[in-house]
Amino acid sequence: MVPVGRSAYSDIAKPMEFYFHYSDAPVSVAGLQTKYIFNTTRLFRFSNFEEAYANSFYKPIGLPKIDIDFYLYPNLAGPVMFNGSWQVFIWVNASAYKPATLHCSLKR
């Protein structure tokens, strides 16, 4: 894994980019085993477009909504404190027969 950037602590806000991944082997996060993680690495293990498409989420018509929890793994190297305003931008590529919605909740 290659971090996006490294720097010593300062009072200046530092933007952080996180990428959502599917891990072939489950990892342990807070006592849970999961294959859905997010972290600062841009490395994706798909060798071609077809393989990436095969690992995307698909919901057949008539089945319940897709509900996936992603966990931060590995932990950040140091403490992170939010003070004041902060923003989260999520880029999602989706297609559907009917209008789709995205719900995002951030939990500690």
Distance of CA 36 to the CA centre of its chain: 8
Task: Confirm if 33 and 26 have CB atoms less than 8 A apart.
Answer: yes
Does residue 7 form part of some domain? no
Assigned domain for 64 exists: yes
Structural domain boundaries, residue 98: 16-108
Q: Is residue 53 part of a domain?
A: yes
Over the stretch 25-54, which tens digit does the pLDDT of each residue have? 899 988 899 988 888 887 777 777 777 776
Asked whether residue 2 is assigned to any structural domain, the reply reads no
pLDDT level of residue 59 (50, 70, 90 thresholds): confident
Longest CA–CA span in the chain (Å) reads 51
Q: What pLDDT was estimated at residue 27? A: 92
The whole-number pLDDT of residue 19 equals 84
Residue 5: inside a domain? no
What pLDDT is recorded for position 1?
A: 45
Angstrom distance (rounded) from CA 28 to CA 20: 16
Q: Give yes or no for residue 89 having a pLDDT over 90.
A: no
Q: Domain total for the chain?
A: 1
pTM comes to 0.61
